[in-house]
């Protein structure tokens, strides 16, 4: 990077400021990276992360935590954590649950409600799945043409997602969030969802959920990392509207291109870094650019 930056060398003032920010990252602070999966780290069609392997290898080498923050279920994320050899906390179902491996943080348990199982400390932020299913059924009875994952067979989920049968089965084992498909007036549907006390978001599918989102879950983990490691810098990478709360809550929000080579037009932050590439290709380029200077 040049010692002196000229606005004439940059596309915009925002780009200039991003370059200054990246330069400051060289100060040696610990970096934490949050990432979406589908369409971001994983190819939207093949679910492969192979194009991102150079950056993933560099993160391992530099011991930089990679926290998965996805609309996927616990079992789906565990499947990919195993493939990635990832042992860090993760966030499931659009911020519905935070899973922290037992003993990961070396300090007293945080002062909020949590559950424990044999593997994780679990912070539950999402609505009960049974309540979400009831809302979907009520919406259908009210005339909305909605069909959730809970209404579909494993084979149907596999067909609409492109997932293998084994992965589609994991996608149906939900706790905090219900993906659904819908044809009709979205504004009227969203108003009806809100009237029932629930929220909605959108990624590859529509989602009905409670008072949770990726941003709230990310904020909790950032606080825990700061308590553990002191001053840190945070990065998040996503591709869709459901990633916006996550992107808003980090120092360096990165948006990758969608499969049609476009950026999600609903995501527009002043400090947004637009990665040059679709899904894992853009992910790889953006992470290498930032981390290589670290």
- Catalytic annotation, residues: 36
290 within 8 A of 25, measured Cβ to Cβ: yes
* C-alpha to C-alpha distance for 86 and 104, rounded to whole angstroms: 13
Q: Is 54 helix (H, G, I), strand (E, B) or coil?
A: helix
50 within 8 A of 82, measured Cβ to Cβ: no
Q: Which residue in the block uniquely carries the two structure tokens 């529509």? A: 206
* C-alpha to C-alpha distance for 175 and 131, rounded to whole angstroms: 10
Q: Which residue in the block uniquely carries the two structure tokens 């990633």? A: 243
Helices first, then strands: H and E counts in the chain: 10, 13
* C-alpha to C-alpha distance for 51 and 54, rounded to whole angstroms: 8
Nearest residue to 97 via CA among 214, 14, 7: 214
First-residue to last-residue Cα distance in the chain: 13
**CA-CA-CA-CA torsion sign (103, 98, 204, 149):** positive
Q: Residue 187 corresponds to which tokens in the numbers above?
A: 């504004």
Nearest residue to 34 via CA among 184, 180, 204, 249: 249
Please count the residues of the chain: 294
């Amino acid at each position: 990077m040049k010692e002196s930056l000229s606005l004439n060398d940059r596309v915009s003032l925002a780009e200039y400021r991003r370059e200054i920010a990246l330069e400051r990252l060289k100060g040696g602070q610990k970096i934490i990276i949050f990432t979406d999966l589908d369409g971001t780290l994983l190819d939207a069609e093949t679910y492969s992360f192979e194009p991102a392997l150079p950056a993933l290898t560099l993160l391992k080498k530099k011991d930089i935590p990679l926290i998965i923050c996805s609309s996927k279920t616990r079992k789906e994320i565990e499947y990919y954590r195993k493939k990635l050899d990832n042992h860090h906390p993760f966030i499931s179902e659009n911020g519905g649950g935070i899973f922290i491996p037992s003993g990961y943080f070396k300090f007293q348990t945080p002062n909020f409600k949590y559950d424990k199982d044999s593997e994780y400390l679990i912070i539950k932020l999402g609505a009960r799945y049974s309540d979400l299913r009831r809302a979907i059924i009520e919406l259908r009875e009210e005339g909305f043409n909605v069909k959730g994952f809970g209404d579909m067979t494993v084979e149907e989920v596999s067909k609409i997602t492109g997932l293998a049968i084994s992965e589609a089965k994991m996608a149906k084992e939900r706790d905090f969030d219900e993906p659904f498909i819908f044809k009709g007036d979205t504004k009227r549907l969203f108003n009806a969802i809100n009237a029932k006390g629930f929220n909605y978001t959108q990624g590859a599918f529509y989602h009905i959920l409670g008072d949770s989102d990726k941003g709230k879950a990310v904020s909790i983990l950032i606080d825990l990392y700061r308590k553990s490691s002191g001053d840190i810098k945070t990065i998040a990478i996503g591709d869709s509207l459901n990633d916006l709360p996550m992107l808003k809550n980090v120092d360096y929000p990165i948006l990758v291109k969608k499969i049609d080579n476009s950026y999600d037009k609903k995501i527009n932050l002043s400090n947004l870094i637009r990665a040059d590439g679709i899904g894992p290709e853009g992910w790889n380029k953006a992470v290498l650019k930032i981390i290589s200077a670290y």
